[in-house]
Amino acid sequence: MAERLRLDKWLWHARFFKTRSLAARVIGEGRVRLNGERVEKPAQVVGEGDMLTFPQGRQVRVVEVAALGTRRGPAEEARNLYVDQTPPPVPRAGPRPTGRDRRKLDETRRQDGDEGPA
């Protein structure tokens, strides 16, 4: 097994992206960071211990490269390639306000002199 692997290939092996070309596109757009540095080349090499930060869906993933894969195997095998360091999502302050609650909030803001939604 090689000591270093292309970034796009590793992201594909670890199943963060469905296709290697999709991984390469995200990297090419400069949306991936390797050890805190912005990366724009899919051929950038990664090794064990490197930290990657990239968007996936609505969240930003932070992962540490734990191993380099030799193939794009099943999900169980892919999970062994990284250690997920992604912080947990921030919980909501409370339940979603109802329409009635929203109108009360807007009225209170208008009375306080804040210009909210009209």
Does pLDDT of 92 surpass 80? no
pLDDT value at residue 80: 95
CA 23 to centroid of chain Cα atoms: 12
The answer to whether residues 64 and 70 touch, using CB atoms and an 8 Å cutoff, is no
Per-domain residue ranges of the chain: 5-111
Closest CA to 70 of 11, 28, 3, 13: 13
pTM above 0.85, yes or no: no
Which of the four pLDDT bands, split at 50, 70 and 90, describes residue 57? confident
Architecture of domain 5-111: Roll (3.10)
Does pLDDT of 1 surpass 50? no
Sequence-separated contacts (24+) of 76-85 with Cβ below 8 Å: 78/13, 78/14, 78/15, 81/10, 81/13, 81/14, 82/14, 85/51
pLDDT value at residue 97: 85
pLDDT value at residue 110: 87
When pLDDT is averaged across residues 108-114 and rounded to a whole number, the result is 79
Mean pLDDT over each residue of the chain, to the nearest integer? 90
